[in-house]
Structure 1
Amino acid sequence: MSLPVSVADKAEKARRPGFGARLLRSRETGIIAALVLMVVVLSIIEPDFASTDNLLNDARNFSFVGIVVLGQAMVMITGGIDLSVGSVWGLAAVSSAAFMAMGLGTVPACLLSMLIAACFGLFNGLCVTKLRMPPFVPTLATMSIARALALVVTRGKSIDEFRPYDDPFFALGGGDSFGLPNPFIIFVVLTVIAWIVLNKSVYGRQLYAIGGNERAARLTGLDVDRLKISVYVISSVLAAIAGIIEVSYLSSAISNQGLGKELSVIAAAVIGGTNLNGGEGTVIGVFVGAVILEVLRNGLVLLGTDAYWQGVFVGSVIVLAVFIDQLRKGFWRSR
């Protein structure tokens, strides 16, 4: 005998976790709390940290890495990883400046640089899907190739004066709108788009399905290869966008732009709760992860910490973030 609808509904509601429980289970809660704690402590220890100029400078700085993290997170959600983003970032930066120095217009130069980056992403995706290579193999190769091409373009020299001093292009990375740095505004807009794609679209659900169980995703009829290729292309294009914006900010391009940034990008994604094995990760998480990474770096600088030790602190935070996430999962599974 079935229960009346009203009684069944009440029983179902009783079994559902309350808002507080859902909040504690959320992986974003921990990293947001960590960010708030870091900001409060740094503001007390070093008052200059909370100054408007410093916070706006932080917002500009973490936006470059943040833009790339959005694409890296999509790759990681499918169970992959893209080690080439730092080099593609640098190649797009120097190629866009070189194209403009050759007399090409700003928009065509930027689009052509993004197309070059997309080709790297396509190559990575094809190697992973068609040649069945582990993701780190082709992306490690393209990391080397892109960096070498950046050196070929620049010949080890910086590219300066590729646009007139008052050209609007320089406002893209160095200007402000509504009192906020333009790179931060671009990062926020791209974050909103990424959130909609991952949470409100069929495409986003398919990416999570692949990362959760690729074999099951194939059996259900998903075009896994096409989807995987697409995320590598997106990752490379976003890396190119970050490189172009950084060139606009610096008003100069050098071959080592983006050098080592792949580590910062992966670190921000991991700190933000993206699972290296795929199937888990949120846009809000990676956004906060990118902010935490820059807040930590900026705080260490203001506290006078030796620059050589910064990598030690960042690495420790990554391990701590993963450890805490594992504790959270184990705790709630035991409930």
Structure 2
Amino acid sequence: MNIDLLAAPEQSFVRRLGGTQEAWIALAIVALGIAVSLVSPKFATSGNLLNVLQNACFIGIMALGMTPVIVSGGIDISVGSILGLCGITLGILLVAGWPLPIAIPAVLALGALCGTFNGAIIAYLKLPPFVVTLATLSMGRSLALVVSQNTVFYDFGPWSAALLAIGGGKTLGLPNVIYALAAGILVLHFLLTMTRWGRYVFAVGGNEDAARLCGIPVELVKVSTYAFSGLMAAVTAVFLVGWLGAVTNAIGTGYELQVIAATVIGGASLVGGFGTAIGAAIGAVLVEVIRNSLLIAGVNPFWQGFFVGSFILGAVLLERIRSSRR
């Protein structure tokens, strides 16, 4: 019984990886890119494509964190607030004279702690993930206002140059955040497919009651997925603040919707049990391509949410069709 339960989610993952949704989304990106290029050749320029990829990486890193949460059957709409709180905290610490090599680990720990707080309430108090993370979304924004006193931080002291180099710098001609996303994909792919933790995450999302009967520590698994989500939001905060060169308490506002959209479009099932690292990254690229395409084509940017929502509905419908055939 134990072997079957733990093997089934991974086998489903392998079938999906070689199979379909990620490939269909990649084709959609190419098709959309070609269509927009015909309308406006500016889209296909190297500078714009690099800009699209760089912007997608911020959502992509957070989507990597969201993937285990959704795979395990949960959802986290507080990631934008966690990013904002971590970004503000990074600015405060650097202005206070903390060295960057100490401030960054402190901010990463804060993000993981925020995620752990979400997970603990959800797992041990048995409260709905949507309600809990909706509450902590509001709490996080409020804390960011309190600790920052509505101040804009744009001078990070002697470590300003180093922070800007991390978030806005390039290595071998590519923005550093692209390497961060690539590393995140490899790490999450390894965790989900090659570790006991990954098998547990799939098992909990596939059938929580059966997982508990098999001796899987369901509560700890849930807490760990939210902690991972908070950690990845903090990682994004470091790169985003370095890229922007400033931070306000509004940073990350609305990101949670884009992150969830990227994760679901990339193939993660909202009922749990399915999801891949590469799918989350591809979904993030599609979300950014939609946004950039609308701007390049001169379409009212207010249509962005409509098109992203349409792709979400399409992704969920595709998953429903695939599930009915299994």
Q: Do both proteins adopt the same fold according to a TM-score greater than 0.5, normalized to the shorter chain?
A: yes
**TM value normalised by structure 1:** 0.89
Do 2:64 and 2:280's aligned partners in 1 also have CA atoms closer than 8 Å? Answer: yes
CA distance in 1, matches of 2:16, 2:83: 38
Q: Which digits, 9 at most, give the CA deviation of each residue in 1:229-270, with x for residues without a partner?
A: 111101001001101110001110101000010000000011
CA distance in 2, matches of 1:26, 1:57: 27
- State the Cα distance separating 1:163 from its structure 2 match: 3.0
149-158 or 233-242, larger mean C-alpha shift = 149-158
Counterpart for residue 271 of structure 2: 277
AA of the residue aligned to 1:59: L
Q: How many residues align?
A: 312
Q: Map of 1:122-201 to 2, 5 A cutoff?
A: 122-164=116-158, 167-201=161-195
State the structure with more CA Rg.
Answer: 1
Q: Are 2:274 and 1:245 equivalent residues in the alignment? A: no
Counterpart for residue 223 of structure 1: 217
Inter-CA distance 130–172: structure 2 relative to 1 (3 Å threshold): same
SS in 1 for 2:157: coil
Q: Which digits, 9 at most, give the CA deviation of each residue in 1:276-335, with x for residues without a partner?
A: 1100111121111000000110000101111222212211221122223323444x44xx
Inter-CA distance 117–22: structure 2 relative to 1 (3 Å threshold): closer
Inter-CA distance 235–166: structure 2 relative to 1 (3 Å threshold): closer
Q: Map of 1:244-263 to 2, 5 A cutoff?
A: 244-263=238-257
CA distance in 2, matches of 1:23, 1:207: 17
AA of the residue aligned to 2:115: G
- State the Cα distance separating 1:166 from its structure 2 match: 6.3
CA distance in 2, matches of 1:97, 1:46: 39
Q: Identify which of 291, 311, 316 aligns with 2:305.
A: 311
Q: Map of 1:1-335 to 2, 5 A cutoff?
A: 25-164=19-158, 167-330=161-324, 332-333=325-326
- State the Cα distance separating 1:144 from its structure 2 match: 0.8
Structure 1: tracts of 5 or more residues without a match: 1-20
AA of the residue aligned to 1:69: A
Do 2:86 and 2:234's aligned partners in 1 also have CA atoms closer than 8 Å? Answer: yes
CA distance in 1, matches of 2:170, 2:19: 37
Inter-CA distance 249–22: structure 2 relative to 1 (3 Å threshold): closer
Inter-CA distance 199–161: structure 2 relative to 1 (3 Å threshold): same
CA distance in 2, matches of 1:46, 1:188: 29
Counterpart for residue 15 of structure 1: none
Instruction: Give identity over the alignment, percent.
Output: 40
Do 2:266 and 2:283's aligned partners in 1 also have CA atoms closer than 8 Å? Answer: yes
CA distance in 2, matches of 1:41, 1:59: 18
Q: Which digits, 9 at most, give the CA deviation of each residue in 1:176-213, with x for residues without a partner?
A: 11111111111111111111111121211111011000
CA distance in 1, matches of 2:40, 2:194: 41
SS in 2 for 1:167: helix
SS in 1 for 2:161: coil
Do 2:291 and 2:301's aligned partners in 1 also have CA atoms closer than 8 Å? Answer: no
- State the Cα distance separating 1:40 from its structure 2 match: 1.8
CA distance in 1, matches of 2:282, 2:188: 14
- State the Cα distance separating 1:115 from its structure 2 match: 1.7
Runs of 4+ in 1 over 4 A off after TM superposition: 21-25
Counterpart for residue 8 of structure 2: none
CA distance in 2, matches of 1:306, 1:153: 36
CA distance in 1, matches of 2:99, 2:224: 28
Do 1:271 and 1:321's aligned partners in 2 also have CA atoms closer than 8 Å? Answer: yes
Do 1:25 and 1:328's aligned partners in 2 also have CA atoms closer than 8 Å? Answer: no
Q: Which digits, 9 at most, give the CA deviation of each residue in 1:39-89, with x for residues without a partner?
A: 222222221111111111111101111001011111000000111100000
CA distance in 1, matches of 2:160, 2:63: 31
AA of the residue aligned to 2:308: V
Structure 2: tracts of 5 or more residues without a match: 1-14
SS in 2 for 1:186: helix
Counterpart for residue 13 of structure 1: none
Do 1:91 and 1:150's aligned partners in 2 also have CA atoms closer than 8 Å? Answer: yes
AA of the residue aligned to 1:274: A
